[in-house]
Amino acid sequence: MIDFYYNFSPNPMKVALFLEEAGLAYRPVPVDTLLGEQFAPEIVRLNPNGKLPIIVEDGVAVFDSNAILLYLAEKHGRFLPAPEYRGQLLSWLMFAASGVGPYSGQAVHFRHYAPDPKDYPLQRYDFEARRHFTVLDEHLAGRNWMVGDGYGIVDMAVWGWARNIDFVLGGEFRAGFPNLVRLIDAIEARPAAAAAVGLRDRHAFQREFDERARRTMFRHLKPA
Ligand SMILES: N[C@@H](CCC(=O)N[C@@H](CS)C(=O)NCC(=O)O)C(=O)O
């Protein structure tokens, strides 16, 4: 049994998709990041970075979504491309981990949450998020999957953020990324994606962006 520490944001959702696709038995453990539960000692013991997702399997804790995807894929021998694609697998997985995720995350932060003034950071992260989605879209022209001949963990890694492309970029932009959207739609049509997204019905996370949520999200700000 795998313990899966999650919320509904893009990084945990990639792991939920893998767990559902692989049919692995798991126990979802909700961690409410707007309430600051990610900083509880029992969570930080598992991930010193105090973020989600985390899995614990056979007493081994693994954190960071793309590391978890690779770990589970290798451990269970699922959703990996043929060995000759190993280089491509690592390149695109790291591209998703170090580019798509962070730039999209910061674009969301500055577009939807950060206090003013934010013109410059918003322009920068919007530009970089859009550029990364464009790299993915161009790579997917004339191919069904990110790496090799079949659906795999890089597709899952990309799905986490790209399914939220309109929220990340702040408008109706899907039509501008036809190849990427084809991939996302192909994944969304799978029962495992519906089951992963269906985790939403299992726990009522805090939604209101109240004072406590604000203090958690803006903990880097010095008190006035
Ligand atoms: N590189 C990490 C990023 C994890 C991350 O930023 N998780 C978010 C949810 S998507 C989180 O836990 N945020 C809470 C916080 O930053 O305090 C990964 O890919 O798992």
pTM, full prediction:
0.96
* Helices assigned H by DSSP within 145-218: 153-162, 165-169, 178-188, 191-197, 211-217
Q: Residue 5 in 3-state DSSP?
A: strand
C-beta of 52 in contact with ligand 1 (< 6 A): yes
Question: Where does residue 77 rank: exposed (0-12), middle (13-18), buried (19+ CB within 10 A)?
Answer: exposed
Q: 148: CA distance to ligand 1 center in Å?
A: 28
Beta carbons of 151 and 17 less than 8 angstroms apart: no
C-beta of 64 in contact with ligand 1 (< 6 A): yes
User: pLDDT 10s digit of each residue in the chain, 224 long?
Assistant: 999 999 999 999 999 999 999 999 999 999 999 999 999 999 999 999 999 999 999 999 999 999 999 999 999 999 999 999 999 999 999 999 999 999 999 999 999 999 999 999 999 999 999 999 999 999 999 999 999 999 999 999 999 999 999 999 999 999 999 999 999 999 999 999 999 999 988 899 988 888 888 888 898 887 76
Write the residue with the smallest CA distance to atom 6 of ligand 1: 51
C-beta of 11 in contact with ligand 1 (< 6 A): yes
Q: Which domains does the chain have, with CATH numbers?
A: 2-78+195-217 (3.40.30.10), 83-189 (1.20.1050.10)
C-beta of 104 in contact with ligand 1 (< 6 A): no
Strand 54-57 to 2-6 pairing:
antiparallel
